[in-house]
Structure 1
Amino acid sequence: MAAKESSFDIVSKVDMQEVDNAVHQAQKEIENRFDFKGSKSSIERSNEEIILVGDDEYKLNAVTDILQTKLVKRGVSLKALEYGKIEPAAGGTVRQTIKIKQGISQEHAKTIVKLVKDSKLKVQASVQGDQVRVSGKSKDELQAVIRMLREADLPIELQFVNYR
């Protein structure tokens, strides 16, 4: 009788409800702040993107700071954001699109699998779509993998789910 295998999945998901809440809070703050009176600055979310508009780059940076503060307060990792170029927009304003990254890219998944293999722990890691499954006989070794990945400075936010 083989020892029971345990496993968990490594995912990178963003709670879009929290993103919406943060965007609404940031929009309210911009509407109420004295330094934004008469400004065309705004924030909106459409699908997997947040679109920031500012009167100029200085105002756009202020809008970005407000948004980041609200996201962090709501538990959304800033690692999930991919900033586009700042570009001119209508009415002399500037616009920046921020993509919200969901899932683990193939490139990051390969990096995670390599880190797990290099750790010399007796576990297997396999890429499954936009997530990575790690399995092994020892729960202590699985927890060691989680600890190691939390300490690794990866450019994406990871969550560890379906631990069984």
Structure 2
Amino acid sequence: MPSFDVVSEANLVEVKNAVDQANKEIATRFDFKGSDARIEQKERDLTAYADSEFQLNQVRDVLTAKLVKRNVDVRFMDNGKIEKIGGDKVKQVIKIKNGIESDAAKKIVRLIKDSKMKVQASIQGEAVRITGAKRDDLQAAIAQLKKDVTDLPLEFNNFRD
């Protein structure tokens, strides 16, 4: 029976490349000269450091631009609270989301069931598996999800025929 998985995963290699490019640009920009502005990455957590909140916003803008150039959806970014670390220096933890949360997965399953298509949706951990009798039904389900789910960066993979 044909099936595919609906997932939400960022390409961590591209995220790392974007962080490296952002750090290079920050090091060469005149408005960051002599400051401690940088971005550090540990797995799925990015930490942005700067001398002021204004500079921190600039660092985040540079990172966002580099992520967009590398085709990483910025909806994966979950900005934390801005923390003071001493003097005027500030930092912010940015988490890279992975997987579909249970509420969003339930919403996707409900959307598929309400559409009256001849497909079934089931939650498989952090993914949603959609199965159907015909490939055309699955393609219609993909089109429906692309149209209706805009708050999550969805990918469709593991297509079986």
What TM bracket, shorter-length normalisation? over 0.9
Residue number in structure 1 paired with 2:122: 126
Q: Decide which structure has greater strand share.
A: 2
Aligned pairs for 1:102-117 within 5 A: 102-117=98-113
2:136 counterpart of 1:157 = no
- From 96, 101, 116, the counterpart of 2:92: 96
- The unaligned stretches of length 5 or more in structure 1 are none
Residue number in structure 2 paired with 1:84: 80
User: What percent of counterpart residues are identical?
Assistant: 49
TM normalised by structure 1 equals 0.94
RMSD between superposed Cα atoms in Å: 1.0
Q: Which deviations, in whole Å up to 9, do the C-alpha atoms of 1:64-88 show, x marking residues without a partner?
A: 0000000111111111111101111
Question: Runs of at least 4 residues of structure 1 off by over 6 A?
Answer: none
Inter-partner Cα distance in structure 2 for 1:155 and 1:107: 12
TM normalised by structure 2 equals 0.96
Residue number in structure 2 paired with 1:19: 15
Query: Once the 2 structures are TM-superposed, how far is the Cα of residue 155 of structure 1 from its aligned partner?
Result: 2.2
Query: Once the 2 structures are TM-superposed, how far is the Cα of residue 92 of structure 1 from its aligned partner?
Result: 2.0
Whichever residue aligns with residue 122 of structure 2, its letter is S
Residue number in structure 2 paired with 1:72: 68
Query: Once the 2 structures are TM-superposed, how far is the Cα of residue 131 of structure 1 from its aligned partner?
Result: 0.3
Q: Which deviations, in whole Å up to 9, do the C-alpha atoms of 1:22-43 show, x marking residues without a partner?
A: 0000000000001110111110
Residue number in structure 2 paired with 1:142: 138
Inter-partner Cα distance in structure 2 for 1:10 and 1:153: 11
Whichever residue aligns with residue 27 of structure 2, its letter is E
